[in-house]
Copies of this chain bind each other. A is one copy, B any other.
């Protein structure tokens, strides 16, 4: 491919805060068509096809059979699992010309079970796995960051079917390994797996594959001591309270205008962890109230709350209708119709400040074990905190990091097969969507540094002074030699300045670069460099093709060195 023919322009000025969005827009990889909807230009399409090839090879390696499900599906299919009603407006619903209800696929569990149903009746077929690479649409309320969170995207999803839980678990491990290989082959072996919440997918065990980056939307709980890793949504929160020597009696104190737990603690000269705060939510379905008491320094984890209640919730908005004394709510002497929950962080705590259920008053000396009924249930509803105790090694080593989810695997159990009347199986599904994430992780200030396995081209030849006959001839000859040898070559044959050409080359991000110029030819050499600056050398003209090919192989070997064995 010659740059002069390549569709797309590169731009100099920064266009976005998020680096992948900035670099991929400036580099001519994509063009926005609508909110969260992009067209991919040739370099991005090349990267996407390469990622697809890696996915296909890895799925085939774990005995996957490629299939294709529809993008537009009839409502009946989603009704059969109950998700037509249970999923919110991120599922884009519409009517066709005959008025029939339809939706755009955001995931294909129903379609997978529909396909496998009836035609996999005999036990000899099991286990089997089907996968597809297909367009998906999620009507995200807020698209963000270029390709980082879009509404339309290409996804690989896989569904395996098993006759026993043990077989499902065995296969789950193979999938897990296949994912590690996929990220390693795509040049991001640093992706980590974290325990996750299964969310709308259902099922019990699931892992997310996360690329750690500050712009990530997910909060991760990581223990560097023992390797414990979980999504905040799924992370256990461990809080230890040491009982005070003396348990003080309950006492009502005037706190006036102090309403937040922070203000009250400041007023009374106490620390937040010596208080008990009330947090009020409402169920989405009927706006009924849910009241959670936690230790004052612990935040409520909404995912855990949702899972415990088996109902979606939102922070209370019309608390005035709750018949609660907002700002002074407390667990003692509370009369309310709201569902009342107690977080595990209150276990063992003593001498806490809490609301008195009376305007302008709080209590001190609240001792849950003494002041609450003996049958009070304490539930883990809290968010893990930096420096908190690791649920695995129990050191106070918890770190909080941010990450982008680039894949997800689930053990769905019988969630879909039972709902849809299929006998005989379990299932798990996976997804991956990594182009922008790789860019986010692999770049410098000048552009992306694509791993060689997914780079749009393996090598770029920069013909400086393409109007010079000798440069033109030597560059073309090298181009032909590399092309014939099977390398993927981009040739910049434009009559532009060196600065302009290099800045474009940085945006293309090809791993190997060869510079041919009157100056290098004067010395009988070309200049060879890698995009990551680890190699920079002169090579004699005659040796150039062989050396470039060897360097490409070296870079590929470096990627493969980090790819774990398949299991």
Given contacts A66-B46, A90-B97, contact A39 B111 (CB under 8 A): yes
Shortest distance in angstroms between A456's beta carbon and chain B's nearest beta carbon? 11
Shortest distance in angstroms between A44's beta carbon and chain B's nearest beta carbon? 8
One of B38, B69, B141 near A70 (C-beta < 8 A)? B38
Contacts of A97 in B (CB 8 A): 89-90, 92, 139, 141
One of B37, B65, B70, B151 near A39 (C-beta < 8 A)? B70
In contact, A130 and B100 (Cβ under 8 angstroms): no
Q: A94 near B: Cβ within 8 Å?
A: yes
One of B9, B39, B76, B90 near A68 (C-beta < 8 A)? B39
Contacts of A9 in B (CB 8 A): 118-119
Q: A5 near B: Cβ within 8 Å?
A: yes
One of B31, B68, B89, B128 near A40 (C-beta < 8 A)? B68
A1-42 to B contact mask, C-beta < 8 Å, 1/0:
100111111000000000000000000100101110111111
In contact, B34 and A77 (Cβ under 8 angstroms): yes
A contact residues, total (Cβ < 8 Å)? 68
Q: A63 near B: Cβ within 8 Å?
A: yes
A56-72 to B contact mask, C-beta < 8 Å, 1/0:
00000001011111111
In contact, B119 and A7 (Cβ under 8 angstroms): yes
- Chain B residue with the shortest CB-CB distance to A132: B45
Shortest distance in angstroms between A31's beta carbon and chain B's nearest beta carbon? 6
Interface centre among A120, A125, A141 (most CB of B within 10 A): A125
Given contacts A4-B124, A72-B152, contact A39 B90 (CB under 8 A): no
Q: A114 near B: Cβ within 8 Å?
A: yes
Contacts of A70 in B (CB 8 A): 33-34, 37-39, 152
One of B35, B39, B67, B72 near A7 (C-beta < 8 A)? B67
- Chain B residue with the shortest CB-CB distance to A102: B34
CA distance A124 to B6 in the complex (A): 10
Shortest distance in angstroms between A54's beta carbon and chain B's nearest beta carbon? 15
Q: A239 near B: Cβ within 8 Å?
A: no
- Chain B residue with the shortest CB-CB distance to A128: B7
Shortest distance in angstroms between A150's beta carbon and chain B's nearest beta carbon? 9
Q: A96 near B: Cβ within 8 Å?
A: yes
Contacts of A141 in B (CB 8 A): 97
Contacts of A39 in B (CB 8 A): 67-70, 111, 114-115
Contacts of A69 in B (CB 8 A): 33, 39
One of B67, B73, B135 near A134 (C-beta < 8 A)? B135
Interface centre among A28, A31, A96 (most CB of B within 10 A): A96
One of B31, B38, B66 near A42 (C-beta < 8 A)? B66
A:97-134 near B, CB below 8 Å: 97-98, 100, 102, 104, 111, 114-116, 118-120, 124-125, 128, 130, 132, 134
Q: A457 near B: Cβ within 8 Å?
A: no
Contacts of A74 in B (CB 8 A): 33-35, 37
Q: A48 near B: Cβ within 8 Å?
A: yes
Interface centre among A65, A111, A120 (most CB of B within 10 A): A65
Q: A137 near B: Cβ within 8 Å?
A: yes
Q: A204 near B: Cβ within 8 Å?
A: no
Q: A519 near B: Cβ within 8 Å?
A: no
Contacts of A34 in B (CB 8 A): 70, 73-74, 76-77, 100, 102
Q: A547 near B: Cβ within 8 Å?
A: no
- Chain B residue with the shortest CB-CB distance to A63: B5
Q: A49 near B: Cβ within 8 Å?
A: yes
Contacts of A49 in B (CB 8 A): 66
In contact, B46 and A100 (Cβ under 8 angstroms): no
CA distance A438 to B381 in the complex (A): 59
In contact, B42 and A115 (Cβ under 8 angstroms): no
CA distance A141 to B100 in the complex (A): 12
In contact, B94 and A67 (Cβ under 8 angstroms): no
Contacts of A77 in B (CB 8 A): 33-34
In contact, B96 and A67 (Cβ under 8 angstroms): no
- Chain B residue with the shortest CB-CB distance to A124: B4
CA distance A41 to B77 in the complex (A): 17
- Chain B residue with the shortest CB-CB distance to A34: B74
In contact, B111 and A33 (Cβ under 8 angstroms): yes
Contacts of A130 in B (CB 8 A): 7, 42
CA distance A439 to B246 in the complex (A): 86
Q: Interface residues, chain A, CB within 8 Å of chain B? A: 1, 4-9, 28, 31, 33-35, 37-42, 44-46, 48-49, 63, 65-74, 76-77, 89-90, 92, 94-98, 100, 102, 104, 111, 114-116, 118-120, 124-125, 128, 130, 132, 134-135, 137, 139, 141, 151-152, 154, 494
CB-CB nearest 6 A-B residue pairs: A94-B94, A34-B74, A40-B68, A42-B65, A89-B97, A9-B119
Give 24 pairs: A residue, B residue, CB < 8 Å, sorted on A. A4-B124, A5-B63, A5-B125, A7-B65, A7-B67, A7-B120, A7-B128, A8-B119, A33-B73, A33-B74, A34-B70, A34-B100, A35-B74, A37-B73, A39-B68, A39-B115, A42-B66, A45-B67, A49-B66, A68-B154, A71-B71, A72-B104, A96-B139, A124-B494
| Given A33-B77, A40-B68, A46-B66, 19 additional A-B pairs, CB 8 A | A4-B125, A5-B63, A7-B119, A7-B128, A34-B77, A35-B98, A35-B100, A37-B70, A39-B67, A39-B111, A40-B67, A41-B67, A41-B115, A42-B67, A45-B67, A72-B92, A90-B97, A94-B94, A135-B135
